[in-house]
Amino acid sequence: MSTRGQGVVSRTKGKRRELKKGSVQINEP
């Protein structure tokens, strides 16, 4: 269960980072 929870957190973190980066790039220009 520990490995499964870590994998899910890693996936959400990666997706959130990509979304945040895209939002910042669109807002900056």
Q: What are phi and psi of 23, to 5 degrees?
A: -65, -45
Q: What pTM did the predictor assign?
A: 0.20
Task: Count CA atoms closer than 13 A to 7's CA, side-chain side.
Answer: 4
Q: Where are the chain's structural domains?
A: 1-29
Position 22 scores a pLDDT of 58
Tokens of 11: 């996936």
pLDDT per residue rounded down to tens, the chain (29 residues): 455 555 666 666 656 666 666 555 555 55
